[in-house]
Structure 1
Amino acid sequence: MEQQMPAIKAIALSVGGTPDPLIKSIEHHRPEFVCFLASQGTNHVTIKVRDLLGSRAGDIRFATELVDDENDLLECHRKAEKAIARIQTDGYAKDQVVVDYTGGTKNMSVALALAAIEKGYLFSYVGGSRRSKDGVGVVESGHEQIHTHVNPWDFMAVREKRQAAQFFNSCQFKACRDVLARLAENASTRKSVFRKLALVADAFHNWDLFRHIDARELCRKARLEELAEDHESWIARFAVNCLAMLPVLEKIIFSSAKGKKPSLELALDLYANAERRFAEGKVDDAVLRLYRLVEMLAQLQLLAGHGIDVSDVRPEQLPEALRDEYLAQYRNQRTGLVQLPQTPSFRLLRELGDPLGKAFATDAGRFKDVQKARNDSYLAHGFLSSKEATYEKLRDFVVDLGALKTASAPQFPRME
């Protein structure tokens, strides 16, 4: 159910050669503030409007912005912006303002519309059932009709929609959310749609930060099922693709016990995250994610294949060949727990005869080269920026371990 529109408090009008449409618009909307956009040749019309309104004007405040050259579009636009700024200064809400572009030259009407279109105001035009000059001239006095339109921003905003899509598709989800939030603020009839899209962008922002539970809740609030039925095909298509991602998100949350243990789905998500960082050109971030993934693969295989939790290894789970060494080196002095880092985890896998441990040992030299490059980076221990080749070598190493089918990594939808 549509909410009743608030009372109009301010109106901006372009001024032509006759006062009748101006009076009709003012009497119809009954604002408390009127700002005229007039030329030097039509300023007298604004005075006549006030005279003709007389006592009917009540407490209306009037202001006028004068255009020096009504045939200069840039000059008209500068003065139109000043007229709109007068309204903004008084702090009126977007849905309390009407822009009437009926009068004035075409340049003045276009300028006023351009100055106001991104503000979220309503638009109004005074037409009529009878016109002079056999129906092609001005509306005859007494036959004026008000046509109030929703803000064209709802249907246009092409630049902003394109910008939102570019941000989303380049993984700048927070920036995308902010653009969509502004669209919702400026829109009059599509507010809920843009708010829902902003929630979706925020959901993927959280997913990208591994906040999977928050992402799921934001998707729920976005009501993707409703967006999937939107009349704008790009919105519906995007929502359908997002809906297809929800089972993937659920599997990540469930399989990892809400992010508390390693899982295949979580590992694939981490791989996809690394790929997104690399695509953004954030090589150091991408390398760190793959480095963590290598460790997670060992943790996952030990837990799933052997029931060993690397954060709390029981002595009897260790082969005799490693037991004394591991108990001496990896027992936490504060908690007493045996906790294994990356390389000892793979060594344990190899000793247990696990294929993943054997694959790691076979390629250990290649991994050490990548490990050194990672340790030399700014985000680890050094002062160098990781090169693209470092990431690519580490990615090849991960693939060659054979523990992941990287083609199954989740792919975020695109906003077209």
Structure 2
Amino acid sequence: MRILFITVGTGVGESEEKVKSLAHGILYSISQHKPDKIVFFGSEESKRTIEEIKKQYLEKEEREFENYEFVKIDKIDDFNDCYEKMENKIKEYKEEEIVVDYTSGTKTMTTTAAIIAMLYQKKLFLTSGKRGKNGIVIPGTEEIKQQNLYLAYNKYALEKAKEAFNSYRYEDAKNYLKQIVAMEEKKDYEEIVEAYSLWDKFEHEKAKEKMEKVKMDILNTNKSFLGRLGKAEVREEFLIPDLLNNASRRIEEGKYDDAVARLYRVIEMIAQYRLKAEHDLNPSEIKWGDLEIKIKEQKIMEKYEKKKDEKGIIRLSLNECYDLLKDLNDEVGKVAEDKELKDLLKKRNFSILAHGVEPVSREGAYKLFNKAKEIAEKVLENLNEYMEISKFPKL
């Protein structure tokens, strides 16, 4: 069903001739749009124009003017009143095709109608014609002109997409971009949003493929980081700064439990990286023979002998990784004795995403972030550089 929204004024001046001219113009608009229903917006005084419309329609069509409603705007020069009345009707007829004619009415009414049409992507029309000496449109010269709102709407949708992207709301950004019509840069922005959406979910290779399709200087450092990550023999060197940045984004969003889950993985990964990089041991699959070469003290080896499986493989938890570093006389092993870290991890264990029901506070998330970064700096010489070049840009 097609619904025609029309703002209705009272005519230029108060003469009968001017009211008739306005009514004639509105009827012309109705005849061109052929709506199933009409919604008029106007003041109490505008009802005079409606009566003239009905009179002229009866004379021309020889039947009563029907299928319309009149929405009274009490404060015709108040934007909020005009907007609320029009938006309510937009929502009421949201399933229908709506076209908007903003030819007459106060400046506030017509401006509001144009804004409503842009925000809700409705076709906007103006009825114009040749005017006589008294400023009245000459009957028979009327014509309907559609106003092209795409330029304004495209800019609006792009700004909303950027705003969503900068807040890490990638699905919202995609939806705003879908609403853009005929913009040269649209495809690039779609690739960018998809790339960072993938990266935020640790799909690094897919993110890099998407990013390579876009030539923007703002992406260069991130492209470099992903390239180095893809070629790294020990990926943890790049995954640790990436995880820290990811946790930082979650804190920025107020998702503190999500942030702490990532930070726990950072602390775990630091120990794993240290064992690989400095001691050539893979904590998820340590061979008993390799450990015997590294540790000579029998008492210590007895502890690890209990952990090996039938194939002589040892798999270690977070705390056990730090214990092993300590047993290897690695200074990073002292992290396991850090009282502040223990307290923070205890709170993490009581969180909803771990083993408890307590939500993580903003303060708790920040403290764990700073502690994780402090530990990582002891292990990764280039941590701050890598965090900088893997930081997501703001569009």
- The two structures have a TM-score, normalised by structure 1, of 0.70
Mean Cα deviation higher: 283-292 or 294-303: 283-292
Mean Cα deviation higher: 280-289 or 101-110: 280-289
* Greater relative CO, 1 or 2 (CA 8 Å, sep 6+): 2
1:140 to 1:284, Cα distance in 2 relative to 1, 3 A: same
- Give the one of 377, 382, 393 matched to 1:399: 377
1:178 aligns with 2:172: yes
1:370 aligns with 2:341: yes
1:273 aligns with 2:246: yes
Per the TM alignment, residue 392 of structure 1 is displaced from its structure 2 partner at its CA by 2.4
Q: Quick one: distance in 2 between partners of 1:194 and 1:52?
A: 52
Partner of 2:393: 413
Partner of 1:37: 41
User: After the TM superposition, which residues 235-274 of structure 1 pair with which residues of structure 2 at under 5 Å, given as runs?
Assistant: 240-242=217-219, 245-253=222-230, 255=232, 262-274=235-247
Q: Quick one: distance in 1 between partners of 2:271 and 2:76?
A: 74
Secondary structure of 2:133's aligned partner? helix
Partner of 1:294: 267
Deviation string 1:341-367 (CA, Å, 9 cap, x unpaired) is 335445555666xxxx62314x44663
- Give the one of 282, 286, 290 matched to 1:317: 290
Partners of 2:4 and 2:100 within 8 A in 1: yes
Secondary structure of 1:132's aligned partner? coil
1:194 to 1:331, Cα distance in 2 relative to 1, 3 A: same
1:79 to 1:348, Cα distance in 2 relative to 1, 3 A: closer
Q: Quick one: distance in 2 between partners of 1:275 and 1:19?
A: 61
Cα root mean square deviation, aligned: 4.1
Partner of 1:4: none
Partner of 2:140: 142
1:50 aligns with 2:38: no
Runs of 5+ unmatched residues, structure 2: 10-18
Q: Quick one: distance in 2 between partners of 1:177 and 1:243?
A: 24
Per the TM alignment, residue 52 of structure 1 is displaced from its structure 2 partner at its CA by 6.2
Task: State the one-letter code of the partner of 1:241.
Answer: I
Partner of 2:313: 337
1:104 aligns with 2:81: no
Q: Quick one: distance in 2 between partners of 1:86 and 1:35?
A: 11
Partner of 1:236: none
Task: State the one-letter code of the partner of 1:340.
Answer: L
Task: State the one-letter code of the partner of 1:209.
Answer: K
Q: Quick one: distance in 2 between partners of 1:81 and 1:45?
A: 27
Deviation string 1:301-343 (CA, Å, 9 cap, x unpaired) is 444555532222222211252684365232246x863213335
1:120 aligns with 2:121: yes
Secondary structure of 1:104's aligned partner? coil
Partners of 2:4 and 2:35 within 8 A in 1: yes
Partners of 1:36 and 1:65 within 8 A in 2: yes
Task: State the one-letter code of the partner of 1:131.
Answer: R
Secondary structure of 2:41's aligned partner? strand
Partners of 2:322 and 2:335 within 8 A in 1: no
The number of residue pairs the alignment matches comes to 366
1:242 to 1:123, Cα distance in 2 relative to 1, 3 A: farther
1:247 to 1:53, Cα distance in 2 relative to 1, 3 A: farther
Per the TM alignment, residue 224 of structure 1 is displaced from its structure 2 partner at its CA by 3.9
1:406 to 1:81, Cα distance in 2 relative to 1, 3 A: closer
Task: State the one-letter code of the partner of 1:339.
Answer: R
- Among the aligned pairs, what percent are the same residue? 24
Partner of 1:229: none
1:154 to 1:297, Cα distance in 2 relative to 1, 3 A: same
Partners of 2:162 and 2:173 within 8 A in 1: no
Partners of 1:14 and 1:100 within 8 A in 2: yes
1:332 to 1:44, Cα distance in 2 relative to 1, 3 A: farther
Q: Quick one: distance in 2 between partners of 1:166 and 1:86?
A: 29
Task: State the one-letter code of the partner of 1:63.
Answer: Y
Partner of 1:25: 29
Task: State the one-letter code of the partner of 1:337.
Answer: I
Deviation string 1:282-312 (CA, Å, 9 cap, x unpaired) is 5555454344223323323444555532222
